[in-house]
């Protein structure tokens, strides 16, 4: 009777060890697939951003900045006022 109990205990221990290995393999497989899907998702998001970005930002057609253009215009207006009102 003791011999049968020892054999059943060994069989139960082997089944428990095999179930543990199966559980470890299943969890590692799930984590591996999550990692691969994450890498593919990041690659897809980066590719989408690169393909949908604007190629060139709109620029002003003048070669001179707006501030300098307005200063030139202000100088002309000042000269007109001087010639009209200070020449008397």
Structural domain boundaries enclosing 42: 2-85
pLDDT at 18 over 80: yes
Whole-model pTM: value is 0.50
CA distances from 88 to 81, 82, 84, 85 (A): 12, 10, 8, 7
What's the number of domains the chain is made of? 1
How many angstroms separate the CA atoms of 73 and 59, rounded?
A: 21
Count of beta carbons in the 10 Å neighbourhood of residue 40: 10
Residue range 41-84, pLDDT digits in tens:
999 999 998 888 777 766 656 565 566 666 767 777 778 878 88
How many angstroms separate the CA atoms of 85 and 88, rounded?
A: 7
pLDDT given for residue 86 in this prediction: 77
């Amino acid at each position: 009777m003791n011999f049968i109990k020892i054999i059943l205990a060994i069989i139960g221990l082997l089944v428990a060890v095999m179930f543990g290995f199966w559980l470890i393999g299943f969890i590692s497989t799930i984590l591996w697939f999550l990692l691969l899907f994450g890498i593919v998702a990041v690659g897809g998001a980066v590719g989408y951003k690169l393909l949908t970005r604007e190629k060139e930002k709109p620029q002003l057609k003048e070669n001179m900045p707006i501030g300098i253009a307005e200063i030139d215009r202000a100088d002309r207006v000042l000269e007109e006022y001087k010639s009209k009102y200070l020449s008397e």
